[in-house]
Structure 1
């Protein structure tokens, strides 16, 4: 018997352990990509009163980081070449941690906007680099791991929304926001400890990637618009659903629980996508189902927001929770190589997040003018209707780069 035959099970075990730890690290990082935004909504009225922010300014607390996510994503390929995936993701998580901790000490309107901008840049670095990392490390299982990654993102939002009002009563909203720096620091330590074995690939490999730039592909632009409008539903709900229910007479706790319940539905939907997506090589059916669910939830908010609060929460949560990973998976479907996937993902997320950033700001402007958010739900419903038509264009056979 050869030594190689004896060592083979041990090698397989090491690979399995290493991959498992890498998945845990990916999910840990993902959990920290939304609390800086999701923790704001349940206490937004209190923040406005204490900091002097207007409704438009409060909307900017979500719009600014989401817009910067887009700018940062467009620079993802440059960041990939300069520092590599592992270091770039670590750099992004560190910025998120520092931005959250800064809110403990700098909680004026200027400080809140500055920390929102910093968190947006950190999130952008992670989101631009993580798809390429997943595509390279898990080439045969990228769809499932992307589903877990996006589920982790929504899980972090769930925790932040559910605990925001209660924590803020005990420690103050400033400390509540700042405490989210601690899990980000823990995720940074875990990432540094488990990703190093996957970062030995030379950065020059990424410089050798060839192919048509995504900006020269009409399909890439369709993916960008699809991701942007779909993510706009998420950012709109994240920023303004709790204030909407507070305005209708519900308490901050109840409004926070509505958002937490919605994001919990997102987690369930994300896990379902991760578990079953490989059974649907043609993604158009799941995309249509997710979009119809979002549309149904928006209709509930428009016609009977109090009576239909539970159906709205469930439909919006399941739809948004499925649409986010599906949008990322469909994007990865259009690229064959990890470097190409990274470039395409950066392009789609970059422009897409810029589009998505318009929604919270527009809703804040509408609220400031009419003291009513119903028009924002109507605007989003029209956009979702257009996405249902657009989803029919995503044939599984086409590749871009």
Structure 2
């Protein structure tokens, strides 16, 4: 994979931006028990707090093509970074309701930024879009791991969970400065041009729904882990810090599979074997962490991380492999991430409701494993070697 200087700068910028698109989600979970004690959050309110950014992420994702059309994809991404930094500052202020408001704003900003980047990758590096998407996903996973692992240490360092949460805005401001200084030149034709294929035509394609539902199911597992894994582990008897580090190790392991899964997917005729392997690793990791004896916690954390990192990387890879050009990639990205993340938001909320109702951890674990089984069925369709393309003004699905 050979890079020009322009491509190399773009990849570095993509990594820095990617680092910012998960700490807002993963930094809350290790502090959730503390927030329930100090801020008086009920299990339901905690569920809402973990669901809110994912829901806003999904609702905001379809706005990305509209912003790209009006501002250009590059400026729209800069605007999303500015909104992210603002939301991260807001959620730490000692004012009524701003914890939820700032969290929602950060989630919406992530939805826009995360939708724009795959289409930019398809435009800037079309020949290696799937492998570069793996690098981008690796940056997302590393950002998530930093958010989970440093959340409590930062709160202890600053002597306040509020300042600890606000400190993540510094990383977003740094990314914004770099992006404004070195972002790629605007394309002659915006990614979201007026002549775009109708979104309704995309919605009529079975392939769109297959990828969207796969994205939603696997993302639901990811955000349940981001939002509730430390709490579930604490219920099993772990200390707060140990639970946070188990989650951090799991997310760190996502880095390796996020980078390696697209390479693995290239070995076969389609992505189905790679998708199923990653989902089985996820299921095994959940079983070891939440059901098996406590001695199996570290293998469980590793397997969970490898499975989730690879599953998410392949989900983003499908957005570029299942479209013939960057314009369609941007549209599919907005639809799939919008619908998928909106569906995914039900996961953390459901876990909060189950815990408030007194559900046993083992029962919750088996429910999650069952949902992974459903996701395997979706992967068998989404992983087939198909591609959406324009033909005589119509949207068609053909073998790639």
Q: TM-score, normalised by structure 2?
A: 0.92
SS of 1:393 mapped into structure 2: helix
1:7 is matched with which residue? none
Q: Distance in 1 between matches of 2:104 and 2:79?
A: 15
1:294 paired with 2:278, answer no
2:392 is matched with which residue? none
Which of the two has greater helix per residue? Answer: 1
Q: Distance in 2 between matches of 1:50 and 1:187?
A: 32
Structure 1: tracts of 5 or more residues without a match: 1-12
1:146 is matched with which residue? 133
Q: Distance in 2 between matches of 1:203 and 1:386?
A: 37
Q: Distance in 2 between matches of 1:215 and 1:300?
A: 38
SS of 2:41 mapped into structure 1: coil
Alignment of 1:259-298 (within 5 A): 259-298=247-286
Aligned pair partner of 1:86 in 60, 71, 74: 74
Q: Distance in 1 between matches of 2:373 and 2:240?
A: 31
CA separation of 1:221/1:309 partners in 2, compared to 1, >3 Å: closer, same or farther? same
The alignment covers a number of residue pairs equal to: 386
Aligned pair partner of 1:304 in 289, 292, 301: 292
1:111 is matched with which residue? 98
Q: Distance in 2 between matches of 1:353 and 1:116?
A: 15
1:383 is matched with which residue? 371
Aligned pair partner of 1:184 in 169, 172, 175: 172
1:268-305 Cα deviation digits (max 9, x unpaired): 11121255444345111100100111111122234225
1:325 is matched with which residue? 313
Offset at residue 332 of structure 1 (A): 2.0
Offset at residue 258 of structure 1 (A): 0.3
Structure 2: tracts of 5 or more residues without a match: 390-400
CA separation of 1:113/1:158 partners in 2, compared to 1, >3 Å: closer, same or farther? same
2:53 is matched with which residue? 65
Q: Distance in 2 between matches of 1:183 and 1:170?
A: 17
Q: Distance in 1 between matches of 2:176 and 2:297?
A: 37
RMSD over equivalenced CA pairs, Å? 1.9
1:18-42 Cα deviation digits (max 9, x unpaired): 2111101001001001111111111
Q: Distance in 2 between matches of 1:248 and 1:396?
A: 40
Q: Distance in 1 between matches of 2:184 and 2:379?
A: 38
Q: Distance in 2 between matches of 1:73 and 1:16?
A: 30
